[in-house]
Amino acid sequence: MSFQTLNRVALVEDDDAFRAALAERLALAGLTVAPFASGEAALRVLDARFDGVVVTDLRMPGLDGLQLIQRLGVVDPDLPVVMITGHGDISEAVEAMKRGAYDFLTKPFAPERLVETLGRALEKRALVLDNRRLAAQAADETWAIPLSGESPAAEGLRAAIKQLADAHVDVLIEGETGAGKEAVARAIHNAGQRRLQPFVVVSCAALPDSGAESQLLGHEPGAFAGAMRRRTGQIEQSHRGSLFLDEIDLAPAPCR
């Protein structure tokens, strides 16, 4: 399946009024905000399982933004952190990027710009968490090729899966509905090096006649009316992994 859509944001800001106002604005954009008045408070909650991203101010009493980024890097080096800075702190913001910050914004900034940045960061976080889940599943060899049977046909299928696992070729899997085409596709994915990358399923029969291109290829903000943020297409989501086109014969005519 494609990776899950995330919407959680940990907001670390010592200014009570600014924190409340920004949390409200992010909530209106459809994000779920967990506000923290200090870096210390955030560290007591955030761990490597956090399915979201972090927004932090730079100038804070106690643990400042740079120190928080460093501490979070120990907790999870793949956790995206967006830094908020004043105009006089650009050099420190650049230092934050060197230490692993995902991005930084200088005050004052348009809330829409932060929402757009968080959208990209959340997509990155979703890919990371999905890759970890797939890697954990793939570590179990019995799960990697979940095909039972000792008949010559079953043995031949398992041998073909192992042979195709790391091949850089397109694979056509044929069979009646319910025969297990997706199971075979997942087995090919999980048996090779691609298992550490996403396995993305596209239900071709469910693709709309209008908008399929955006779903498959993605779009940039402003590409058309209503496109408020960048969307990563399913083809890009499967980069270095596997793209399973289910029921490709039922895809809309423009996609064939």
Each residue's pLDDT tens digit, 2-29: 456 899 999 999 999 999 999 999 999 9
Q: Are 234 and 177 in contact (CB under 8 A)?
A: no
Q: Are 23 and 13 in contact (CB under 8 A)?
A: no
- Which one, of 252, 244, 251, lies nearest residue 2 by Cα? 244
Mean pLDDT computed over 24-46: 95
Look up residue 57 and give its amino acid: D
**Same CATH topology for 8-133 and 141-255?**
yes
The CATH class, in words, for 141-255 is: alpha beta
Q: Which of 6-15, 175-184, 204-213 has the highest mean pLDDT?
A: 6-15
Pairwise CA distance, residues 256 & 51, whole Å: 36
- Model pLDDT, residue 148: 66
- Which one, of 167, 215, 205, lies nearest residue 188 by Cα? 167
Pairwise CA distance, residues 8 & 42, whole Å: 14
Pairwise CA distance, residues 242 & 234, whole Å: 10
Q: Work out whether strand 218-219 and strand 231-232 pair parallel, antiparallel, or are unpaired.
A: antiparallel
Compute CA distances 198 → 12, 44, 193, whole Å: 31, 31, 11
**Secondary structure element (H or E) that encloses residue 154, with its range:** helix 152-164
51 pLDDT band, cuts 50/70/90, is very high
Look up residue 106 and give its amino acid: T
Q: Which of 68-77, 89-98, 135-144 has the highest mean pLDDT?
A: 68-77
Q: Work out whether strand 231-232 and strand 242-246 pair parallel, antiparallel, or are unpaired.
A: unpaired
- Which one, of 248, 171, 254, 240, lies nearest residue 203 by Cα? 248
Per-residue pLDDT at 91 exceeds 60: yes
- Model pLDDT, residue 142: 47
| 34 CB burial (10 A radius; 0-12, 13-18, 19+) | middle
Residues in the chain: 256
Mean pLDDT computed over 145-157: 76
Per-residue pLDDT at 119 exceeds 80: yes
3-state secondary structure of 168: coil
What residue segments make up the domains of the chain, in order of their start? 8-133, 141-255
Mean pLDDT computed over 211-228: 76
Q: Are 92 and 100 in contact (CB under 8 A)?
A: no
- Model pLDDT, residue 190: 85
Could you identify the residue written with the tokens 């960048």?
A: 230
Angle at Cα 73 formed by Cα 70 and Cα 76, nearest 5°? 155
- Model pLDDT, residue 254: 63
Per-residue pLDDT at 139 exceeds 70: no
Pairwise CA distance, residues 91 & 27, whole Å: 30
Architecture (CATH level 2) of domain 8-133:
3-Layer(aba) Sandwich (3.40)
Mean pLDDT computed over 138-146: 53
- Model pLDDT, residue 249: 84
Lowest mean pLDDT among 2-6, 30-34, 198-202: 2-6
Average pLDDT score over the chain: 85
Higher pLDDT, 64 or 178: 64
Compute CA distances 256 → 181, 219, 243, 252, whole Å: 20, 20, 15, 7
128 pLDDT band, cuts 50/70/90, is confident
Pairwise CA distance, residues 55 & 252, whole Å: 41
